[in-house]
Amino acid sequence: MVGTSVALAGCSGATGTQGDGRMTVVASIYPLQYVVEQVGGDLVAVSTVTPAGADPHAVELSPRQLRRFGEADAVVYLSGFQPAVDEAIADRAPEHVLDVAAAADLRPLPAGAVDENGNQPSSGTLDPHFWLDPTRLAAVAHEVARLLGEVDPVNAATFAANADALDADLVSLDTEFASGLADCTGDTVVTSHASLGYLTQRYGLRQVAVSGLNPEGEPSPARMREVRAEIERYGVSTVFTEPLADPAVAATLSADLGVEVGQLDPLDSHADTAADYRDVMHANLEALRAGLGCS
């Protein structure tokens, strides 16, 4: 854990529905859970409503999960990403809630982005995958600290200090990415779905997504022809699949064009309890370095 925390006895400002004195926090997706864990430390009990290994875009909530939004001391979510979560928050109206969209500074999908059918998304469609740019996740950490401090003013300074420590750690990770991707023979990242927009923009790369925002979307034959043309045009040597995507798409491109297949984890769904955000980002960096021929 990046940050530090004080003894649980100091958590007198929180309502502590966990039953052990800790503040209870619901985070809609894993990257936000990670931030709350790092900022809250031992003073918080964090859960997420997105099951491990499930597509977060299409999550459905059980009655018990719906109740958690009203019962938790705090809720952290990303609006516009999971309709079921947006509806639950509107219905349950939690007292302490943070929508991280503003702090993450979401931007529209990149020009030229298309869905699995080759169609451009509607004007103004925002790219939700901000956490793959560590500097944007760092900005969210400070807003999480502010929220937790509202619920538990006694430990507000601890939350702020933990957010500062996480910020420094994420800036260090950003430096590792910038250095690791600075000298590569390729700059085009062919991905299963449009999840790497922030990452590729941050580090001067180009994203070519087979599918749109839905990782389980099946690309049309026309879209596959376009992707093949992009691979040949930019001399791509590796195409990347991901945990939620159908590996057959990458396998088809590999067989047709003689390219390698790598794997990237966009971290919107996270099933490996032995690896946290930083571990997965390091694995992503090494996969990108291998696939792009970086020295």
What's the pLDDT at 120? 62
Does residue 118 belong to any structural domain of this protein? no
What's the pLDDT at 110? 65
Does residue 56 belong to any structural domain of this protein? yes
User: Strands 97-99 and 74-77, how do they pair?
Assistant: parallel
From the CB of residue 14, how many other CB atoms can be counted at a distance below 10 Å?
25
Considering the domain architecture, whether residues 158 and 232 belong to the same structural domain is answered as no
- Please answer whether residues 192 and 240 qualify as being in contact, where contact means their C-beta atoms are separated by less than 8 angstroms: yes
Distances (CA, A) of 32 to 42, 61, 100, 101, 233: 16, 18, 9, 12, 37
Does residue 4 belong to any structural domain of this protein? no
Considering the domain architecture, whether residues 104 and 245 belong to the same structural domain is answered as no
Considering the domain architecture, whether residues 165 and 36 belong to the same structural domain is answered as yes
Report the distance separating Cα 241 and Cα 284, nearest Å.
12
Does residue 1 belong to any structural domain of this protein? no
Query: Which residues are within 8 A (CB) of 41 and not within 5 positions of it... i.e. 6 or more apart?
Result: 1, 3, 4, 5, 158, 162
Considering the domain architecture, whether residues 146 and 218 belong to the same structural domain is answered as no
**Single residue among 159, 176, 193 that ends a domain in this structure:** 176
Instruction: Single out the residue of 140, 170, 145, 175 nearest to residue 159, CA to CA.
Output: 145
What's the pLDDT at 217? 65
**Single residue among 160, 176, 192 that ends a domain in this structure:** 176
**Single residue among 176, 194, 220 that ends a domain in this structure:** 176
- Please answer whether residues 234 and 132 qualify as being in contact, where contact means their C-beta atoms are separated by less than 8 angstroms: no
- Please answer whether residues 93 and 129 qualify as being in contact, where contact means their C-beta atoms are separated by less than 8 angstroms: no
Considering the domain architecture, whether residues 62 and 200 belong to the same structural domain is answered as no
Considering the domain architecture, whether residues 273 and 231 belong to the same structural domain is answered as yes
Considering the domain architecture, whether residues 199 and 164 belong to the same structural domain is answered as no
Residue by residue, what is the 3-state secondary structure of the chain? CCCCCCCHHHCCCCCCCCCCCCEEEEECCHHHHHHHHHHHHHHEEEEECCCCCCCHHHCCCCHHHHHHHHHCCEEEECCCCCHHHHHHHHHHCCCCEEECHHHHCCCECCCCCCCCCCCCCCCCCECCCHHHCHHHHHHHHHHHHHHHHHHCHHHHHHHHHHHHHHHHHHHHHHHHHHHHCCCECCCEEEECCCCCHHHHHHCCCEEEECCCCCCCCCCCHHHHHHHHHHHHHCCCCEEEECCCCCHHHHHHHHHHHCCEEEECCCCCCCCCCCCCHHHHHHHHHHHHHHHHCEC
Considering the domain architecture, whether residues 216 and 160 belong to the same structural domain is answered as no
Considering the domain architecture, whether residues 81 and 163 belong to the same structural domain is answered as yes
Q: Domain range holding 233? A: 184-292
What's the pLDDT at 2? 53
| This model's pTM is above 0.85 | yes
Considering the domain architecture, whether residues 71 and 129 belong to the same structural domain is answered as yes
What's the pLDDT at 14? 44
Does residue 94 belong to any structural domain of this protein? yes
Considering the domain architecture, whether residues 152 and 282 belong to the same structural domain is answered as no
- Our count of domains for the chain comes to 2
Does residue 3 belong to any structural domain of this protein? no
Instruction: Single out the residue of 252, 211, 242, 241 nearest to residue 118, CA to CA.
Output: 211
Does residue 2 belong to any structural domain of this protein? no
- CATH code, domain with 24: 3.40.50.1980
Tens digit of each residue's pLDDT, the chain (295 residues):
454 433 333 333 444 555 688 999 999 999 999 999 999 999 999 999 998 888 888 889 989 889 999 999 999 999 999 999 999 999 999 999 999 999 999 998 765 566 555 566 666 788 999 999 999 999 999 999 999 999 999 999 999 999 999 999 999 999 999 999 999 999 999 998 889 999 999 999 999 998 876 666 678 888 899 999 999 999 999 999 998 888 899 999 999 999 999 999 999 888 788 899 999 999 999 999 999 999 9
- Please answer whether residues 48 and 22 qualify as being in contact, where contact means their C-beta atoms are separated by less than 8 angstroms: no
Considering the domain architecture, whether residues 16 and 160 belong to the same structural domain is answered as yes
Does residue 284 belong to any structural domain of this protein? yes
* Structure tokens given for 107: 């931007």
What's the pLDDT at 138? 98
Between helix 30-40 and helix 156-180 the angle, nearest 10°, is 130
Amino acid at 113: A
Report the distance separating Cα 111 and Cα 229, nearest Å.
18
End-to-end CA distance of the chain, in Å? 31
